[in-house]
Amino acid sequence: MRGRVLIVAGSDSGGGAGIQADIKTVTALGGFAMTAVTALTAQNTQGVSGIHDVPADFVAEQMRAVLGDLGADCIKIGMLHRADVIETVCKVLDVHAPGVPIVCDPVMVAKGGASLLDAAALHALKHALIPRATLLTPNVPEAERLSGIAIKGPDDALHAARTLATLGPKAILMKGGHLDGPTVQDFLLEGECHIDVFEHARIETRHTHGTGCTTASAVACGIAQGLSVRDAVIRARRYVLEAIRTAPGYGGGHGPLNHAHTVVLPGA
């Protein structure tokens, strides 16, 4: 049940999101994490102060090196903020990973509000990458930008998810954590009509940095280990909620999660 997950995403120097959170998550859930870094960011719990691009051809070289030797049971795709990187990633997937499930987390905006997606890349994301996805995992701001629908409540969120389904992903996990209210609702759409609604009481905390990256990687790990999309989502939500509940409290802004809550220390 090991499960090999190739993570194609940007880094987070603060360790709460991006590649760093992805590796922690996959490892904590018993999978094997590999990476292709798409961008380096200088950030902490209070925001992003800089982004350093990785050339598209080197992103492709990282992917080919991993897929040609180690292989992958699922591919998690996060921050791809330029059109040329998105197009290059898609070409590598078609040649070197045909049929491998893809979890696409459309990272566009950091928790602190900084834009992480070049405007020119939006068309490539919608029409090149998302149609290849086994699962698309947008939050409310991302779904609004992708669908053009203003989301004020659960009905709007479900409408936006149905609209995104027309882009071609096999399933969509529409996350509702950005909406107001004491209860958080997430919607899982599979196929044209099957909908699961997952609810949990909101945890009042500022320590939610990296929840999107963590959720997508947790689902990707589950799929890599042979779980159905629905079962992978259920396990991922349980993992993330406990990671939020037991967050260590670091930083002066949106703090990181406790990705290691599944780890039992020797002598504990």
For this structure, is 212 an active site residue? yes
How far CA 69 is from CA of 34, 62, 75, in Å, comes to 11, 11, 15
Q: Is 210 left (phi over 0), alpha (psi -120 to 50) or beta?
A: left
For this structure, is 208 an active site residue? yes
For this structure, is 45 an active site residue? no
The catalytically annotated residue of 25, 35, 208, 215 is 208
The catalytically annotated residue of 24, 76, 111, 175 is 175
What span, in angstroms and rounded, lies between the C-alpha atoms of 226 and 212?
Answer: 22
**253 within 8 A of 110, measured Cβ to Cβ:** no
Q: Which residues contact 196 (CB under 8 A, 6 or more apart)?
A: 187, 188, 190, 230, 233
Q: How many CB atoms lie within 10 A of CB 268?
A: 5
Give me the count of residues in the chain. Answer: 268
- Six token digits for residue 138: 């947008």
For this structure, is 210 an active site residue? yes
For this structure, is 175 an active site residue? yes
The catalytically annotated residue of 10, 210, 222, 255 is 210
The catalytically annotated residue of 10, 18, 31, 212 is 212
The catalytically annotated residue of 35, 211, 214, 215 is 211
- Six token digits for residue 31: 């999978």
CA angle 134, 132, 128 (to 5 degrees): 145
Question: Which phi and psi (to 5°) does residue 74 adopt?
Answer: -160, 150
The catalytically annotated residue of 74, 104, 213, 221 is 213
For this structure, is 38 an active site residue? no
Which residues are known to be catalytic? 175, 208, 210-213
